[in-house]
Amino acid sequence: MEYLEFELPIKELEDQLQKCRLIGEESEVDVTETCSQIENKLKQAKIDIYKNLSPWQRVQLSRHPNRPYTLDHIHAICGDTFLELHGDRNVKDDKAMIGGLGKIGDQSYMFIGQQKGYNTKTRQYRNFGMANPEGYRKALRLMKSAEKFGIPVVTLIDTPGAYPGLEAEERGQGEAIARNILEMTRLKVPIISIIIGEGASGGALGIGVGDKVLMLENSWYSVISPENCSSILWRSWEYKERAAEALKLTAKDAMKIKVIDGVIKEPLGGAHRDREKTFKAVSDAISKSYESLKNLSPKEMIESRMNKYLEMGVFKG
């Protein structure tokens, strides 16, 4: 397990506990009471640290190398029922954007999401979770297929942003994202969007328009990353913590300003600390959201979806 800087007190106590248990196993000394004291300290330290996380610390947790990514969620939720679909029928298959059909119980869903890599090789293969225009066009193709067959759409968002390279701009990155936003507002099937890690900029919005938009507790959702915001405002990355505070990017803040519809609670310490519990929470949230949407007619659903977004940011005097 890798530890972030603010988690070091937990690491120290966990190391102490391990040593204490080892002494008990290798000698005849009774260490039960000592271990119990360390366990209590550890429990309290976790509560104290994780219940008072700053926005920047939540950003760090959302990027934790052990945090489950999109395919981890899909394989855990759908098991062997997931069938990945490829290509935008135009340029190529974007490995940063994945999608396919899968089942939760007896209900089929079209899953779409950004996928990051686990090591240097797979990060390059997945382009660090930054999709090109063909990725967004693939996502739209899959959404239209889902609409054709009356299958609800689930999008899992985890991206530092859409790929900003010259070739992406040449192939119409802005148009591809704008087209997705337009088409998603009028898609005739339920859309459930979940931010599972990073939800940055237009890269997130390109698959983020939904009837129900949810966030995992330690994810973030913002127009820009704290580092980039800091570099624009202060010409330095040193103020990223201040930027994270000002951007109101946490799940709690997004809920407060009504940008999202709900927060999915994570295990203490983050999604990576108890993956199975996280997967179950996400699966339950998808099923619950679908239950609340499945009886709406396409007309009612589209009207409700559009009204939700039209009301955002409107000032009433």
The pTM for the full model equals 0.93
Tell me what the mean pLDDT of segment 160-169 comes to: 95
* pLDDT tens figures, 132-147: 999 999 999 999 999 9
Tell me what the mean pLDDT of segment 80-105 comes to: 96
Which secondary structure element, helix H or strand E, spans residue 251, and what is its range? helix 251-256
pLDDT at 314: 66
* pLDDT tens figures, 261-274: 999 999 999 999 99
* Rg for the chain, CA atoms, rounded: 21
Q: Is the pLDDT of residue 315 over 70?
A: no
Confidence bin at 317 (pLDDT 50/70/90): low
Dihedrals phi, psi of 195, to nearest 5 degrees: -85, 115
pLDDT, mean over the chain: 94
* pLDDT tens figures, 182-222: 999 999 999 999 999 999 989 999 999 999 999 999 999 99
Torsion of CA 223, 226, 227, 233, to 10 degrees: 80
pLDDT at 31: 84
